[in-house]
């Protein structure tokens, strides 16, 4: 059989993936391995990692790149010509880099003999890679697809239909009209980093009060095109200009006031601006989805991808405010996921599968690897038959625990493989995690992992496949809000992870233990990393991070490490 290597090169997060017979065998972001957060260069280590998971008997059929610079050269702004997504150098730099990666580490008959044309390279347009990532991993074979982000080559959004292995483009939105960059411009205006900190604006928006929003309404900045997508009023934005100070224009500043300086305290006005932007984004995405419903022949299933769909508050509304019966959001809808999408598109094989698709796709470290790391670091540890039972006891006693099990998750969410866990019943847990580990803004919420048998107790909305990936914020029942204050946002919503009780995972066993001890099969679950670092990948990363912060214990597979003071 044949496999396809997918590469997201010069994306906001570079990554690599390997697919075979319509199944994702392995996927990992380069930042997890080289420890450089938001790394955008060539994903050398990620490629080496995923190729180690090549199925026995498989060989490489093709390499798929999730960008095609040839489609954008006439449109690339001068300030972006040095970026390989827009620069023709990609057409030869990628094969040159691949040859270096695989040259000496592989037997001659396994090498990518690119110079002689042994393995073809396929350059897939960015939004088609997003569309394929959504469609090929969705349960339905008959989907309408909506993609939205800051920008691909020229496209900033697409509407497609998909049946089986065929994806058909119906409508596109092009630069500089972009919902991703509308939201990014507001992020920049509020003193945060464009293309990096948009999630902070989403969290801040929940603190906005309509009484503080007088004069801050933004609906006229984004026109909802009848029968189409959206158009920005470009008089209010400068992000598309070669020379600019801010992503917003002087006209924007004259109307909405001065921008927040990064050193300036966040106040009620800033929260009101964030709320205004969030409302506009939600209305615009619902409009685009409704257009997709009509253009797509009123199909039941909507599959979405693109960085805009990292906004879990908007995703929660999207599931309720559109006529679709089913909504699918992959575990990595951002640029990292285009490595999977490009590979699936080129392979063109749709496997029979159920949703959710497995998201634990990173490198494998077995118990021997974990023990070796502990001994190499001269760490005192205890080997346990039921580490989850002891961790449940520690968490119920107010301890903060690092949780490291199995292959790492692909995507930005910690889903119980590389997590920090705490007691959601304790109102101080949120502040303790921030003070001891995360050092992040107080307006950003924490999320829970919830045992499936507890779901209806916490939420009125039924769980979906997206709940397994922590992709939608939904309202929590009042009694659950009162009982679990550290995992509910100020607006009463929670971006919960649904954990099937019968899935056999260590996290499910832990939640069962917590249910027995505390009466709630729920735990505060956040990513296992320090501020401005990627999520831990290797056992060495986990040990270093554990001893660099205020965690009380580390469950490294079946081994438990505690700090004895």
List, in order, residues 6 or more apart from 187 with CB less than 8 Å away: 193, 194, 197, 198, 200, 201, 247
d(CA 11, CA 375): 37
pLDDT at 107: 35
DSSP 3-state percent helix, strand, coil across the chain (nearest 5):
35, 20, 45
User: What pLDDT is stored for residue 405 in this prediction?
Assistant: 98
Q: Residues 68, 70, 75, 80: is their CA dihedral positive or negative?
A: positive
Give the H/E segment covering residue 16: strand 15-20
- For CATH 3.90.870.20, list the domain ranges present in the chain: 363-562
Q: What is the mean pLDDT of the chain?
A: 91
Q: With pLDDT > 70 as the criterion, what percentage of the chain qualifies?
A: 89
Architecture of the 363-562 domain = Alpha-Beta Complex (3.90)
Instruction: Work out whether the CA dihedral 338, 339, 342, 344 comes out positive or negative.
Output: negative
Q: Which pLDDT value is given to residue 302?
A: 97
- What is the mean predicted confidence (pLDDT) over 194-219? 89
Residue range(s) in the chain whose domain bears CATH number 3.30.420.40: 179-328
Per-residue confidence at 164, pLDDT binned at 50, 70, 90? confident
φ, ψ of residue 297 to 5 degrees: the values are: 80, 25
SS (H, E, C) 246-262: CCECHHHHHHHCCCCCC
Residue 69, pLDDT score: 77
Percent of the chain whose predicted confidence (pLDDT) is above 90 = 77
* Count of CB atoms situated within 10 Å of the CB of 317: 20
Which CATH fold topology does 179-328 show?
A: Nucleotidyltransferase; domain 5 (3.30.420)
Please tell us whether the domain made up of 2-126 is placed in CATH 3.30.420.
Answer: yes
Question: At 271, which helix (H) or strand (E)?
Answer: helix 268-295
Tokens of 322: 């559109």
Return the exposure string of 237-275: e unless at least 16 CB atoms fall within 10 Å of the residue's CB, then b.
Answer: bbbbeeeeebbbbeebeeebeebbeeeeebeebbbbbbb
């Amino acid at each position: 059989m044949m496999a396809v290597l997918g590469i997201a090169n010069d994306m906001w997060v570079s990554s690599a993936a390997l697919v075979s017979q319509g199944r994702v065998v392995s996927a990992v972001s380069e930042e997890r391995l080289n420890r450089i957060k938001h790394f955008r260069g060539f994903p050398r280590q990620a490629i080496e990692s995923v190729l180690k998971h090549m199925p026995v008997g498989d060989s490489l059929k093709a390499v798929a790149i999730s960008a095609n610079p040839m489609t954008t050269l006439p449109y690339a702004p001068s300030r972006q010509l040095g970026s390989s997504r827009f620069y023709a150098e990609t057409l030869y730099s990628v094969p040159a880099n691949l040859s270096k990666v695989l040259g000496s580490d592989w037997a001659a008959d396994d090498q990518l003999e690119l110079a002689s044309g042994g393995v073809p390279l396929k350059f897939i347009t960015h939004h088609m890679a997003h569309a394929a990532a959504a469609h090929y991993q969705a349960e339905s074979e008959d989907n309408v697809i909506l993609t939205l982000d800051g920008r691909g080559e020229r496209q900033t959004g697409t509407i497609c239909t998909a049946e089986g292995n065929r994806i058909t483009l119906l409508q596109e939105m092009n630069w500089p009209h972009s919902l991703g960059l509308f939201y990014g411009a507001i992020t920049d205006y509020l003193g945060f980093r464009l293309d990096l900190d948009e999630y902070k604006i989403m969290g801040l928006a929940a603190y906005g009060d309509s009484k503080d929003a007088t004069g801050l309404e933004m609906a006229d900045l984004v026109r909802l095109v009848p029968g189409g997508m959206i158009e920005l009023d470009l008089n209010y934005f400068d992000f598309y200009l070669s020379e600019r100070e801010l992503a917003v224009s002087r006209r924007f500043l004259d109307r909405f006031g001065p921008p927040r300086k990064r050193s300036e305290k966040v106040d009620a006005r800033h929260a009101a601006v964030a709320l205004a932007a969030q409302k506009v984004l939600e209305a615009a995405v619902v409009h685009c989805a409704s257009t997709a419903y009509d253009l797509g022949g009123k199909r039941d299933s909507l599959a979405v991808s693109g960085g805009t769909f990292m906004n879990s508050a908007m995703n929660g509304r999207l599931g309720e405010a559109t006529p679709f019966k089913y909504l699918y959001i992959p575990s990595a809808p951002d640029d990292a996921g285009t490595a999977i999408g490009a590979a699936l598109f080129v392979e063109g094989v749709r496997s029979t599968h159920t949703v959710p698709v497995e998201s634990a796709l990173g490198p494998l470290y077995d118990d021997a690897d974990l023990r070796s790391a502990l001994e190499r670091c001269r760490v005192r540890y205890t080997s346990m038959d039921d580490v989850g039972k002891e961790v449940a006891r520690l968490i119920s006693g107010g301890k903060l625990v690092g949780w490291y099990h199995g292959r790492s998750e692909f995507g930005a969410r910690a889903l119980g493989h590389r997590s920090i866990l705490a007691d959601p019943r304790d109102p101080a847990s949120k502040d303790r995690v921030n003070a001891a580990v995360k050092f992040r803004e107080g307006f950003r919420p924490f999320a829970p992992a919830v045992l499936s048998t507890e779901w209806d107790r916490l939420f009125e909305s039924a769980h979906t496949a997206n709940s397994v990936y922590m992709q939608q914020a939904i309202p929590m029942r009042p009694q659950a809000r009162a009982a679990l204050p550290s995992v509910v946002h100020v607006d009463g919503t929670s971006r919960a992870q649904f954990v099937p009780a019968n899935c056999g995972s260590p996290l499910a066993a832990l939640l069962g233990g917590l249910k027995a001890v505390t009466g709630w099969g729920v735990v505060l679950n956040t990513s296992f990393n320090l501020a401005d670092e990627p999520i831990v990948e290797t056992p060495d990363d986990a040990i270093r991070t554990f001893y660099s912060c205020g965690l009380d214990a580390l469950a490294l597979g079946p081994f438990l490490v505690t700090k004895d003071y």
